[in-house]
Amino acid sequence: MPADPDRHRQEPAQLRPEGAGAHPAHAVHLAGRTGALGAGALCYNGAETGASGRTRRRSGTVDGARVRAAIFAAGELYDLERVRALVGRPDLVICADAGLRHAQALGLRVDLVLGDFDSLDGAALEAARAAGMAIVQVPVEKDKTDSHLALEEALRRGAEEILLVGGSGTRLDHTLSNVLLLPECPVPITMTDGKSVARVLRDGQSLAVRREEGAYLSLVPLTPAVTGVAASGVYWPLEGATLRWGESLGISNRVVEPAARVSVGSGCLLVIQAWD
Amino acid sequence: MPADPDRHRQEPAQLRPEGAGAHPAHAVHLAGRTGALGAGALCYNGAETGASGRTRRRSGTVDGARVRAAIFAAGELYDLERVRALVGRPDLVICADAGLRHAQALGLRVDLVLGDFDSLDGAALEAARAAGMAIVQVPVEKDKTDSHLALEEALRRGAEEILLVGGSGTRLDHTLSNVLLLPECPVPITMTDGKSVARVLRDGQSLAVRREEGAYLSLVPLTPAVTGVAASGVYWPLEGATLRWGESLGISNRVVEPAARVSVGSGCLLVIQAWD
């Protein structure tokens, strides 16, 4: 967010990954990855498996469980209690700029606040500093959004599962940019604003989605066509369907069994539970 | 929006295109199309050309000018005055369900209100009927969103240029579904909520974007990679750049000349002017 065009553009030195080139997170090819979401609150409500149906459990660094990170962006939260239930007790909390207010509203211990601080007022920043929070100020002029830097920092600190909170809101460009961080993230990532809970499925992946009171289940094709889409346990089942841009077929389905299952042949699908 | 799962799913007969198959709008291949936006208020602030740079002007049915349609969806409007300036005096106004309230707030003559009316209350609907507005009620259970049906109806009525208003808001699935109507629309289409003005560029297309007070200019890759991106007249020019999912490079640029020019080699790019 280049609020001050007179500054020189530079990469934030504090956050530059070790070694040359991009952060390794972005070099990981996701298609065909397998993983199993555990029972923690950050796990959204799904269990993800590869095409084979086998699951894999990685040993994390916290009591052998997966390292779960919550990232708070500066967008909107429409239902704090739903977010509270999803967040649970994360191992790592990173706030991007004014996302700090969301973490504070939830009473969470914050590991790091980072940003160019164009959206967090000085008093709030000083209060955070006085409370002993780690704070990293990055240049206003940079090639990445604060949310993106927070995501990279979470990966660098070993996050094996991420909940991105407050990444959507009144700036459509930021909302879309945050949504499009999901497909390339090398670990399972969920995005929520309290009224929507979104996950990405790519080639050959599948996801279980628990029934939630009052929730719609929408399937949005992020690539121009997503083929081989199957959805069971829903009011309008799909089998071998193709979802395309310019159609709205996948919007506002309903989970009618204890859990639905959604799988994708090829392409990239956003799976969203949403409440009116 | 299947609010009542006991109803049978059916296509809305009133809106079914003549002949078999999908609406011809969706059969049109957009890559390489050429078009020139005129000077009307609906024209956003760009002039679109094909790769050759040549422009084409189609004769419309209203005084030889292009038929300009405004579609009002039921999402949020964050700046009514900016929307008012963009909307101007459209030839055709179609409201999707509670989108009616936006058209009424702007004092526009409404040609058609359509929807399943799950979001417009009965009193408002009766008032619209009493005021002589054409109203089409579609089944709650349908394969398309109300916004999508409104877009199809606008095309059927000869719209040659469309402004989609209120298509974004607190339902992330609807916001994304509406954004993804843009790339397949066979006529120039702009989407706005008053705080963002979004257009799509595809393979070989270019767009001029006027400088607007306080506006950011963001370039969001809708396909996993958009290559050959050029942006001139902006604070951070691009030439032959590739924009990818998982990066946020294109967010929050600034137009620094009277007009910027953005062009795309291959892929699909969302060009968004946004205000904080």
Task: Give the residue ranges of DSSP H helices in chain B.
Answer: 80-87, 100-105, 122-130, 146-156, 172-179
What is the Cα gyration radius of chain B? 19
Q: Give the pLDDT confidence of A213-232 residue by residue, as tens digits.
A: 999 999 999 999 999 999 99
pLDDT reported for residue B258? 98
Question: What are the structure tokens assigned to B204, written together?
Answer: 């070989």
Percent of chain B past pLDDT 90, that is, above it, reads 69
Q: For residue A78, what are its two tokens?
A: 């429409």
Strand B225-232, strand B259-263: pairing: antiparallel
Distances (CA, A) of A47 to A255, A261, B226: 15, 9, 32
User: How far is the alpha carbon of A63 from chain B, nearest alpha carbon, in Å?
Assistant: 30
Per-residue model confidence (pLDDT) at position A64: 60
Chain A residues with CB under 8 Å of B174 CB are: 251, 274
Please tell me whether residue B218 adopts helix, strand or coil conformation: strand
CA distance B175 to chain A (A): 9
- pLDDT tens-digit profile of A145-177? 999 999 999 999 999 999 999 999 999 999 999
Helices (H), chain A: 80-87, 100-105, 122-130, 146-156, 172-179
* Cα–Cα distance for residue pair A52/A209, rounded to 1 Å: 18
Q: Do B223 and A218 touch (CB under 8 A)?
A: no
Query: Which carries the bigger pLDDT value, residue B253 or residue A16?
Result: B253
CB B119 within 8 A of CB B96: no
**Res B1 pLDDT > 90:** no
Task: Give the model's pLDDT for residue A113.
Answer: 96
Contacts of B20 (CB under 8 A, 6+ apart): none
Which residues of chain B lie closer than 8 angstroms to A195, CB-CB? 170-172
Tell me, what's the pLDDT at A106? 97
**Cβ pair A198:B172 closer than 8 A:** yes
**What mean pLDDT is reported for chain A?**
82
Average pLDDT, integer, range B7-32: 29
Q: How many CB pairs under 8 A join A and B?
A: 160
Helix, strand or coil, per DSSP, at residue B156: helix
Q: Collapsing DSSP states into helix, strand and coil, what is residue B49?
A: strand
Query: pLDDT (tens digit, 9 = 90+) per residue, A49-92?
Result: 444 333 333 444 445 689 999 999 999 999 999 999 999 999 99
- State yes or no: pLDDT of A40 exceeds 90: no
CB contact under 8 A, A247 and B179: no
Write out the H or E segment, with its range, that includes residue B273.
strand B269-274
Tell me the domains of chain A and their CATH numbers. Answer: 60-194 (3.40.50.10240), 195-276 (2.60.120.320)
Given CA atoms B85, B89, B92, B95 in this order, what sign does their dihedral have?
positive
Give the strand pairing for B68-72 and B92-96. Answer: parallel
Residue in chain A closest to B6 (alpha carbons) equals A235
Residues of B in contact with A26 (CB under 8 A): 246-247
pLDDT band at A12 (very low <50, low <70, confident <90, very high): very low
Residue B213 in 3-state DSSP?
coil
Nearest to A251 among B174, B249, B253 (CB): B174
Q: Residue A14: its pLDDT value, please?
A: 33
CA atoms of B139 and B151, how far apart (whole Å): 17
